[in-house]
Amino acid sequence: MEQSSTESQFKIFNDGQICVVHVTGAINEETIFQEIDPGASMVVTLDLDKVVSLNSMGLRNWVLWVKQLRSKFQMVFRNCPRVVVDQMNILNGFLPMGAIVGSFYVPYYCESCGREDNLLATRGKDYMEATVDAREGIKIPEQRPCPVCQEEMALDVIPAKYFSFLKYRR
């Protein structure tokens, strides 16, 4: 039986030192959230690069799953696409307290040629989340050259809303 392109999958890479969970497809009512055993690693990295959509039942189960994981391990979210960042910004518990966002995609649009593109923003280089002592730091350009026509591409989000998950969370 061939897998649908939207069916969710969890592939776990664990070499005893590093535990990375690659999540792909749609997070919905059919998603089966797996038990994670990171071995000696106390950090679980969720690579969300291939998540294509999330619905309300999937989100409900996601929040319960990450809450259970967070009680046992440090969590790192990486390669977060726009659909994931949107949920980090609106759904309390999607990004649990203490979790680190290692990288996320920032969407751009070129009005000249119609191209859409994403820039992978990396923690420590392009941004830092706020702490008790300091505001968030964002070094993501509002515009960048289009790889096709070389005209300026503009951020395809409202920065104050899209980057709000970087504000200090209690």
pLDDT over 70 (residue 3): no
Give the pLDDT band of residue 5 (cuts 50, 70, 90).
low
Checking phi first, is residue 12 left (phi over 0); if not, alpha (psi -120 to 50) or beta? beta
pLDDT over 70 (residue 61): yes
Instruction: Dump pLDDT digits (tens) for 113-137.
Output: 999 999 999 999 999 999 888 899 9
Q: Provide the token pair at 88.
A: 């980090």
Cα–Cα distance between 39 and 14 in angstroms, integer? 8
Query: From edge to edge, which strands make up the β-sheet containing 116-122?
Result: 116-122, 103-109, 152-155, 143-145
Q: What is the pLDDT of residue 2?
A: 42
Share of the chain above pLDDT 70, in %: 95
The CATH architecture that domain 1-101 belongs to is 2-Layer Sandwich (3.30)
Write down the domain spans for the chain: 1-101, 105-170
Give the pLDDT band of residue 168 (cuts 50, 70, 90).
low
Instruction: Dump pLDDT digits (tens) for 94-115.
Output: 999 889 999 999 999 999 999 9
